Amino acid sequence: MSLPYIFGCQSTSLSREERKFFTDTQPLGFILFKRNCVNKRQVKDLVKNLRSCIKHWAPVLIDQEGGRVQRLTAPIWRSAPAAAIFEEVWQLKPEVAKELVFLNARLIADELFELGIDVNCAPVVDLKEPNASCIIGDRAFSSDPEIAAILGRSAIDGFENGGVAPILKHIPGHGRADVDSHFALPRISSEISALIKRDFKTFLALNDCKAAMTGHLLFSEIDQINPVTTSSIIINKFIRMHINFQGLLISDDLSMEALSGSLSQRATEALSAGCDIGLHCSGRLDEMVEIACANLQFNESSEMRIDTFLSQIKRLKKNRENINYETTMLMFNEKLARARAGH
């Protein structure tokens, strides 16, 4: 039985200590960051070596959104545009914007698939809000829930068409956050009716996505004490019931400063509240050991959702459609340039 965690590693190759820890603990899967990615051959080897520690099929995740958040960077990999670029196009030609989002996601999927990475922590469908922290900003497709949902759907379709499973971020909506949750807990005092009308609406439209990531956010009108990741009220009443999201629910990074308490406490509270998987990203072995020592296991519902998600990954890989990457990239660049120029 694997542990209900996604873990990172410290560098571009596994240390002896990391290999032993992963072999002993059997986490569900792994996540890569920029510190782990130097060139294609190295990333392929790292992915292979991570999986060699695990007895089950271990998904490998990455955050390759485009814009400010991409772990695979130039000059080795393509610099994908930020999501906000596509809203510019939407204002001129909505159908072209949808096509461009699909093509962009399809290109990203090809880049990941080549490396053996099968899950992308994208798209971000939070809304761009005035007077909010810039932590979302141009990562958002739009300030309009309907546009964000339409473009989010195109991104999901593009990733899946390329054999990569998407993870929707950050359910139930990070747009109003007034501070960066990496460093502090955002406190959102908006009325529930306003949240349902705007923030939650995009996720409701995309609730068939097979996986989503929580935001570390305190919605004080719903739960005055616990942020989303550790709030059974928000997870059960709003994510599972109102939004009707029945897919795999993954926490945002447990080491972010928006959460309080020890790492083992954070992991315990997140899974007890209803998250299926705890995500830990720093690659610090001492922190991963602390989380593993909590000795948490999957519950029956989580096991079913994990099985569904892993089956989806295998199905997407099997049914993946081949494209000519260079031709598709040239077509994307040309269409984007023409659209932004108003042609």
Point out the residues that are catalytic. 182, 252
34, 70, 230, 257, 296 from 8: Cα distances, Å: 11, 16, 21, 18, 18
Angle at 101 between CA 128 and CA 282, to 5 degrees: 65
Tokens of 136: 């979302």
Give the rounded distance of the alpha carbon of 95 from its chain centre: 25
Considering only CA atoms, which of 68, 87, 100 is closest in space to residue 338? 100
Considering only CA atoms, which of 125, 161, 127, 162 is closest in space to residue 144? 127
Q: How many residues does the chain have?
A: 343
Half-sphere exposure of 2 (CA within 13 A, CB side): 26
Catalogue the E-assigned strands of the chain: 3-7, 27-32, 60-62, 64-66, 69-70, 119-120, 165-166, 168-171, 187-188, 211-214, 218-219, 248-253, 277-279
Rounded CA separation 50/191 (Å): 45
Q: What is the DSSP letter of 124?
A: B
Sheet holding 60-62, edge to edge: 165-166, 119-120, 60-62, 27-32, 3-7, 277-279, 248-253, 211-214, 168-171
Considering only CA atoms, which of 226, 141, 127 is closest in space to residue 177? 127
Q: At 248, is the secondary structure helix, strand, or coil?
A: strand
